[in-house]
Amino acid sequence: MEKNFGDYSRMFITDIPADLESEQAQYFKRTIPKFPEEAIYIYSFKENRMVFASGWEEVVGYRDDEINMLAIVNMSAPEFAPFSHDLNDKALKFIHGKNEDLESYSFTIELKKIHKNGSEVPVVARVGVFSSEEGKVTAIIGRFQVNRNLIFGRVMRYAAFGPEKEKFEEELNKALFYHLAISDKEKEALSMVSRGFSFKEIAYELNVSHSAIEKRIIPLYKRFEVKSLTHLVSFAYDNNILP
């Protein structure tokens, strides 16, 4: 059977919305802060359903009592969907391989979601582990913040966070190599290249090894199909990777 993007993640999610009248949902409503034009969800792997949702009608037009995890996964704009689904898969697989400090892991991605009325909504999405038991993830939390200042090119932008951030991002980079995507670490190094820093100077400024900087920059040549450092920097500006 042909593999589809998001196959791994889809094994763990359902289309069951949250019961917002439940004691649990009411507690989350009182205790979890929310900013304007921000939508939040908490999805429980133990209950196989959404257990909290807030702000979704303002952001994408769906009522909080109808939004569900499958709908959120499927509402990415077509040009962002393959990368978003693959990122979800690889991040969840990585976290499933950990058993300590799970609540410290999260990732962000800039993308467009499709509003219920068909319009595109630019968001910065952050998904992280909300709770765990005995070294296993029991719930995740997602925050989708509208950011109308985002300028999208052809390149997807993402970042990973956690106790093993370097390894987390490295694993995502390997898995997502054939997507037009760039991580925060790669973008940080590329920005310094564009300002005239040598690899040696970047390594010194970021307190990492020279080879670590090479690993952030050199793979971008093949990923973005460029032939030189100058071409890479030009590509970055042309695709709104660098301001």
pLDDT for the residue 65: 97
CB-CB contact of 174 with 122 (8 Å): no
Q: Which of 37, 10, 189 is CA-nearest to residue 124?
A: 37
**Where do the domains of the chain lie?**
7-148, 184-238
- Residue 117 predicted with pLDDT over 90: yes
Spell out the CATH class of 7-148. alpha beta
Rounded Cα–Cα distance for residues 203 and 20 (Å) = 50
- Residue 175 predicted with pLDDT over 80: no
Spell out the CATH class of 184-238. mainly alpha
Question: What does the pLDDT look like over 184-197, one tens digit per residue?
Answer: 889 999 999 999 99
State percent of the chain over pLDDT 90: 64
Question: What does the pLDDT look like over 9-51, one tens digit per residue?
Answer: 888 999 999 999 999 999 999 999 999 999 999 999 999 999 9
